[in-house]
C-alpha cells in the first residue's frame, strides 16, 4: 500500500439531518464553520446534511418527495418577480418618454407664431 495518502485530520464531527433534526456523532475530515454542544457536554463541529439514513426512503420504508428548500418554487417565484419588475420598468420608461414628448410638443406649439 502507498504511504501517507490518507488524511491525518480525523476528528469527531456531528452530522445533523435537516429533514428531521436527527444528529449523530462520527469521525470525519469534513470542514465546518458551525459548532454544536453534544450530549456528552463537549462542543464539536456541526455539518448539516439534507438526507441521512434517518430520513432516506430506503431506510425508513416511506416513499415521499424530499424538497426541503422548495428550490423549483423559489426559482419560479424569483423568475416571475424579475419579469414583473422588468415589465414595470419598461412601462415606466415608456410613460416617461410620452410625458417628455408631450411637454416638448406643448412647448413647440407655444413658441410657434400664429398665422
Rounded distance between C-alpha atoms, residue 2 and residue 97, angstroms: 73
CB 54 within 8 A of CB 34: no
> What tens digit of pLDDT does each residue of 31-52 get?
899 999 999 999 999 999 888 8
Tell me what pLDDT residue 64 has: 59
CB 12 within 8 A of CB 44: yes
pLDDT at 23 over 70: yes
Tell me what pLDDT residue 29 has: 92
pLDDT at 2 over 80: yes
Amino acid at each position: 500500500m502507498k504511504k501517507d495518502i490518507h488524511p491525518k485530520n480525523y476528528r469527531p464531527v456531528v452530522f445533523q439531518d435537516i429533514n428531521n433534526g436527527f444528529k449523530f456523532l462520527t469521525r470525519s475530515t469534513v470542514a465546518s464553520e458551525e459548532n454544536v454542544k453534544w450530549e456528552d457536554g463537549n462542543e464539536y463541529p456541526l455539518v448539516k446534511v439534507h438526507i441521512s439514513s434517518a430520513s432516506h426512503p430506503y431506510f425508513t420504508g416511506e416513499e415521499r418527495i424530499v424538497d426541503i428548500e422548495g428550490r423549483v418554487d423559489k426559482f419560479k417565484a424569483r423568475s416571475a418577480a424579475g419579469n414583473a419588475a422588468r415589465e414595470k420598468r419598461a412601462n415606466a420608461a415608456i410613460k416617461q418618454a410620452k410625458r417628455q414628448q408631450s411637454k416638448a410638443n406643448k412647448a413647440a406649439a407655444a413658441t410657434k407664431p400664429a398665422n
